[in-house]
Amino acid sequence: MSKKIGDVILDLQNISLRFGGVKALTDISFDVREHEIRAIIGPNGAGKSSMLNVINGVYHPQEGRIFWHGQERKNMEPHMAAQQNIARTFQNIALFKGMTVLDNIMTGRITKMKANFIEHALWFGRAKKEELEHRKKVEEVIDFLEIQHIRKTPVNRLPYGLQKRVELGRALAAEPSMLLLDEPMAGMNVEEKQDMCRFILDVNDQFGTTIVLIEHDMGVVMDISDRVVVLDYGKKIGDGEPDEVKNNEDVIKAYLGAGH
Amino acid sequence: MLYREAGQFKTTYAADQQIFPIRQDRIGIIALLVVAFIGVPLFASEYWFSAILIPFLIFALAAIGLNVLTGYAGQLSLGSAAFMAVGAYAAYNFQLRIEGIPILVSFVLAGLTAAGVGILFGLPSLRIKGFYLAVATLAAQFFIVWCLTKFPWLSNNSSSGVISTQKLIFFGHELTTPVEKYLLVLSVVVVLALAAKNMVRSSTGRAWMAVRDMDVAASVIGIKLMPTKLLAFAVSSFYCGVAGAMYAFCYLGSVEPDGFSLEMSFKILFMIIIGGVGSIMGSFLGAAFILLLPIFLDVALPFVADLFGLPFASATVSHIQITVFGALIMFFLIVEPHGLARLWQIAKEKLRLWPFPH
Ligand SMILES: Nc1ncnc2c1ncn2[C@@H]1O[C@H](COP(=O)(O)OP(=O)(O)OP(=O)(O)O)[C@@H](O)[C@H]1O
Ligand SMILES: [Mg+2]
């Protein structure tokens, strides 16, 4: 790969997260470097999604420290992550069901729109100008993801694969510096997976976006990621480049044990 | 061939983002406004103004208010009538206590007062959702009506809180005839309806809908839940407050706290269910439907009974009314949750394809 991987931009140290008695994450440390594709893998219930939720402030770990561009982050709320240019997609599609594709993706740019509700109500000042400017950006995303034909369709009428793509579009609309993807290819057929892989690689390549990816398809993971972290029962059991991880004894055991 | 988008290619995003992107819709709206402002005043009778058109417009405004909160922002409320009461009593007090305050200014201040109260009762929405929130707004309904009865200052010490509204002075001219009041109400409603439409088609509205559809995803995108929900409560209550002020000043002339009952809140809720949850136009359709249905049944039922030679008691009319309402609400909740506005949409989509459905 020709791209340049940069410095560590996200550093998680000794993260532990509990839900009552359930230990979702235990003493996990790992980092993410600028411009890389970082995969998180592990059997079901390993704590992968929880990890993403910690990164963007949906869950608050009881222990551990998080550094973002060298600064320690405290009391993170999800909307603050958005302001820091971290976007994400969800394992179970979390689109805004009552809205069209266009509106869903427009919503992705909401932190960049400054007009207030009075300007909107009277349609003066920044309101109209912003709608147009951001529409242009959104159309670029729509072109990039090849979904021009469905832009006015309500998302709940779309097939699953396209919904996943729209959700990626909504995240991309924010022009994130870091993109968290929770199983973006789950439940897709081979062709849809290929498309999605292509989009992820293009995003990474063209925009330099750092990507943290959860995926069960080992072929895909080993193919596209630069480094892989492996979780099992909330513990980190492997971390490194795909080849390293593939031959790690603990990882092989965990996967065999979980019936994969 | 009458209703088409074909041939109307949008060459700019500006054209695609107009408030009514389809030309026939624009023409339709303009025609409607011309009829409402010029045609109706020429032809309608006093009865139509004071018994049908004025209350229709006022309830449509309240329904828009509730639709902002429930339809767009997804926060169920059973307190719409109470916020109307706040508006009515606030406007009365502003007129009473501030010498020479213009009527429109007191309407706006009434709306703002209602917005403030709305924010207060919206605070629980930061913690609770759905059914529980509905119960919390029910508290608003009873508490506000209780306050208005309990504190005589609010009604200038009148017995049991009844107020008679002051004269409607509009730029030095007193509005007395129904048609003048109608034109005042119509102007206010048109302006506020357009403002609401503008809000819901811009990022304010998208933030509301995002919170409604999936609040976790909304906050991950960068939407702050608290200000977004409270803004919906404020805007919604503002609309209800202005509606309430006009209800007192332009419709009844004299109101009492108990007039703003839970039943009235439900009536407004039914308007948006039948008209269309999450639709500004639906608010008008629903208000028209709910207000006109009883009038229609009043006329039609005796006629039908007569036709079949059945005995007829006037109590039957109200029983049948309730039954019909119940049936319709169940129908819309189950079959078409987006109400009449959605049926209208479907009709338009069909018309767009007509006469070649494929
Ligand atoms: N909000 C929550 N409340 C309680 N327990 C939770 C919550 N979120 C996650 N957990 C628990 O934490 C553990 C890890 O869950 P998580 O969703 O992170 O796993 P995962 O690796 O993403 O699994 P999958 O591959 O099935 O998506 C599980 O035992 C889960 O039940
Ligand atoms: Mg998961």
pLDDT exceeds cutoff 90 at B143:
yes
- Tell me how far the alpha carbon of residue B46 lies from the centroid of ligand 1, in angstroms: 66
Res B205 pLDDT > 50: yes
Q: Which of A147, A175, A203 is the last residue of a domain?
A: A175
CA distance B160 to B158: 6
pLDDT at residue number B357: 54
Across residues B340-344, what is the average pLDDT? 81
Q: Say how many domains are in chain A.
A: 2
* pLDDT score, position A260: 45
Ramachandran sector of residue A151 (left: φ over 0; alpha: ψ -120 to 50; beta: rest): alpha
| pLDDT of A178 above 80 | yes
What is the arithmetic mean of pLDDT over A19-42?
95
**For ligand 1, is residue A163 a contact (CB within 6 Å)?**
no
Residues A147 and A119 in one domain: yes
Of A122, A148, A175, the domain-final residue? A175
Task: Name the burial class of residue B127, with classes exposed (0-12), middle (13-18) and buried (19+) by CB atoms within 10 angstroms of its CB.
Answer: exposed
Residue B354: the pLDDT is 64
Q: Report residue A258's pLDDT band, with 50, 70 and 90 as the boundaries.
A: low
Same domain? For A71 and A183 the reply is yes
Model pTM score: 0.91
How many whole angstroms from B87 Cα to the centroid of ligand 2? 49
Helix ranges (DSSP H) in chain B: 13-16, 23-34, 40-43, 46-47, 54-66, 80-97, 103-122, 130-150, 178-200, 203-213, 215-221, 225-246, 262-275, 280-307, 314-334, 339-353
Each as own residue / partner, the long-range contacts of residues B295-303 (CB below 8 Å, 24 or more positions apart, any chain) are B295/B52, B297/B321, B297/B324
The mean of the pLDDT values for chain A is: 92
| For residues A10-29, average pLDDT | 95
| Parent domain of A103 | 92-175
Q: What does the pLDDT look like over B88-138, one tens digit per residue?
A: 999 999 999 998 899 999 999 999 999 999 999 999 988 888 888 989 999
Of A149, A175, A201, which one is at a domain's C-terminal end? A175
Stretch B286-304: mean pLDDT: 85
Are residues A81 and A184 both part of a single domain? Answer: yes
**Is B340:B286 a contact under the CB 8 Å cutoff?**
yes
Are A16 and A75 in a shared domain?
A: yes
- The alpha-carbon gap from A57 to the nearest alpha carbon of chain B, in Å, equals 8
Q: Can you tell me the mean pLDDT for B261-278?
A: 94
A46 lines ligand 1 (CB under 6 A): yes
Whether the pLDDT of residue B171 is over 70: the answer is yes
Task: Provide the pLDDT confidence category of residue A183 given band limits of 50, 70 and 90.
Answer: very high
Average pLDDT (A83-105) is 94
Give, in degrees to the nearest 5, the angle at Cα B326 between B321 and B331: 125
Query: Measured between beta carbons, which residues in chain B are less than 8 angstroms from residue A111?
Result: 221-222
Q: Catalogue all structural domains in chain B, each as residue range(s) with its CATH number.
A: 44-353 (1.10.3470)
* Residue B344 confidence class, pLDDT cut points 50, 70, 90: confident
- Residues A149, A110, single domain; the answer is yes
Q: Is the CB of A174 inside 8 Å of chain B's CB atoms?
A: yes
The answer to whether the Cβ–Cβ distance between A120 and B203 falls below 8 Å is yes
CATH of the domain at A205: 3.40.50.300
pLDDT (mean) for A188-208: 94
So what's the pLDDT on residue B353? 67
- Which has more pLDDT, A167 or A77? A167
Span A193-205, average pLDDT? 95
Contacts of B283 (CB under 8 A, 6+ apart): B60, B63, B64, B66, B67, B193, B271, B272, B275, B276
Contacts of A59 (CB under 8 A, 6+ apart): A17, A24, A50, A53
The closest alpha carbon to B204, from A113, A141, A98, A125, belongs to: A113
The overall average pLDDT reported for chain B is 89
Question: Taking residues B32-51, what's their average pLDDT?
Answer: 91
> Same structural domain for residues A185 and A254?
yes
Do A17 and A81 lie in one domain? The reply is: yes
| pLDDT at site A259 | 47
Please indicate whether residue A53, judged by its CB atom, sits closer than 6 Å to ligand 1.
no
Based on the fold, state whether residues A157 and A79 are members of the same structural domain: no
d(CA A217, CA A221): 6
**Is the Cβ pair A83, B222 closer than 8 Å?**
yes
Q: Does A34 share its domain with A69?
A: yes
Length of chain A: 260
Q: How confident is the model at residue A1 (pLDDT cuts 50, 70, 90)?
A: very low
- Check CB contact under 8 Å for B216 and A81: no
Same domain, A78 and A189: yes
Among chain A residues, CA nearest to B279: A98
B288 pLDDT band, cuts 50/70/90, is very high
Hey, is the C-beta of A27 within 8 angstroms of any chain B C-beta?
Answer: no
Residue A171 in contact with ligand 1 by CB distance below 6 A: no
B222: tokens are 């960068």
Q: What is the mean pLDDT of residues B315-321?
A: 77
A180 & A231 share domain: yes
- The CA A59 to ligand 1 mean position distance, Å, reads 11
* CA nearest to B225 within chain A: A79
A92 interfaces chain B, CB cutoff of 8 Å: no
Residue B151's φ and ψ, nearest 5 degrees, are -105, 105
The ipTM of this complex is: 0.91
Query: Between the ranges A108-112, B11-15, B234-238, B318-322, where is the mean pLDDT highest?
Result: B234-238
Q: How far apart are the first and last CA of chain B?
A: 15
pLDDT at A155 exceeding the cut of 80: yes
pLDDT of B5 reads: 61
Quick one: average pLDDT of B227-237?
A: 97
Torsion, Cα B167 B173 B175 B177, to 10 degrees, reads 130
Residue B218 has pLDDT above 80, yes or no: yes
**Does one domain contain both A133 and A259?**
no
The pLDDT of residue B191 is above 90: yes
Length of chain B: 358
Joined tokens for residue A250 = 């603990």
The two three-digit tokens of residue A33, written as one number: 């470097």
